[in-house]
């Protein structure tokens, strides 16, 4: 293995550049991941087009990352090399701001956001906070798992908070996120209504929704 890796970085707003970077050691509490798959999310466009406040360039987009841990940094005790993990949009909370101290880490005032405040998965490897990782089961292919760590968790959370099992729900639009809501095998909710304007009704038919 050489001491460089390739990354697709945004060198300035709107400009993609394929670059060679020097492999970095993970810092305290971090791991370095060899990327196996990275989904493309619409939010990546905000990195490309400088729509997030205080973005600095160059920046590697990509927050639907699946890869294998190659090296663990100092103080990481819960993960080991060789494990296949996922990293999503929320790359870590500071643990000290008011929302964090209330336990609402999703509203952290100083979050690490993969592909926005730190480099993401449009690369052969990336550094991630160990506390932001999820373990990927062996039976799930990396390419199939990648969208689940952003689009999948978004729809899963929406369904989980929309009602109780057995409730009727409407999924408006069956695009990149909506179809995952319909397919979600982890949900006991059954799709019954679908947006007929969608061009992607196939999953609904497959799962027996009434159109």
Q: Contact residues for Zn ion (CB under 5 A)?
A: 41, 43, 93-94, 97, 100, 108, 150
DSSP label at 205?
A: H
Please say which residue, 23 or 46, places its beta carbon nearer to Zn ion. Answer: 46
Burial class (CB in 10 A: 0-12, 13-18, 19+), 201: middle
DSSP string across 79-125 = --TT-EEEE-SEEE--S-SHHHHTT-GGG-SS-EEBTTTB--SSBSE
Please say which residue, 72 or 133, places its beta carbon nearer to Zn ion. Answer: 133
Burial class (CB in 10 A: 0-12, 13-18, 19+), 23: middle
At residue 203, what are phi and psi to the nearest 5 degrees?
-65, -30
Q: How far is the CB of 195 from Zn ion (least distance, A)?
A: 21
DSSP label at 59?
A: B
Q: How far is the CB of 150 from Zn ion (least distance, A)?
A: 3
Q: Does an H or E element contain 41, and which?
A: none
Q: How far is the CB of 30 from Zn ion (least distance, A)?
A: 18
Please say which residue, 103 or 185, places its beta carbon nearer to Zn ion. Answer: 103
Q: Does an H or E element contain 157, and which?
A: helix 151-162
147: closest CA among 45, 61, 67, 39?
Answer: 39
Q: How far is the CB of 154 from Zn ion (least distance, A)?
A: 7
Please say which residue, 41 or 136, places its beta carbon nearer to Zn ion. Answer: 41
Q: How far is the CB of 72 from Zn ion (least distance, A)?
A: 24
Please say which residue, 47 or 187, places its beta carbon nearer to Zn ion. Answer: 47
């Amino acid at each position: 293995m050489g001491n460089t890796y390739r990354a697709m970085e945004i060198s300035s707003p709107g400009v993609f550049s394929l670059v060679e970077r020097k492999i970095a050691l993970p810092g305290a509490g971090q791991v370095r991941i060899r990327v196996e798959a990275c989904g493309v999310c619409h939010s990546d466009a905000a990195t490309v087009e400088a729509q997030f406040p205080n973005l600095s360039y160059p920046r590697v987009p990509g927050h639907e990352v699946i890869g294998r841990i190659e090296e663990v940094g100092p103080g990481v005790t819960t993960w080991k090399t060789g494990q296949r993990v996922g990293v999503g949009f929320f790359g870590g909370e500071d643990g000290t701001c008011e929302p964090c101290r209330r336990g609402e880490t999703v509203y952290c005032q100083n979050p690490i956001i993969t592909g926005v405040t730190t480099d993401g998965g449009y690369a052969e490897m990336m550094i991630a906070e160990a506390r932001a990782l999820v373990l990927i089961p062996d039976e799930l292919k990396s390419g199939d798992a990648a969208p689940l760590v952003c689009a999948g968790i978004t729809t899963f959370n929406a369904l989980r908070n929309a009602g109780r099992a057995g409730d009727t729900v409407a999924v408006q639009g069956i695009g990149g996120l909506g179809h995952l809501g319909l397919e979600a095998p982890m949900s006991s909710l059954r799709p019954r209504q679908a947006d007929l304007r969608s061009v992607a009704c196939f999953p609904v038919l497959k799962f027996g929704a009434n159109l």
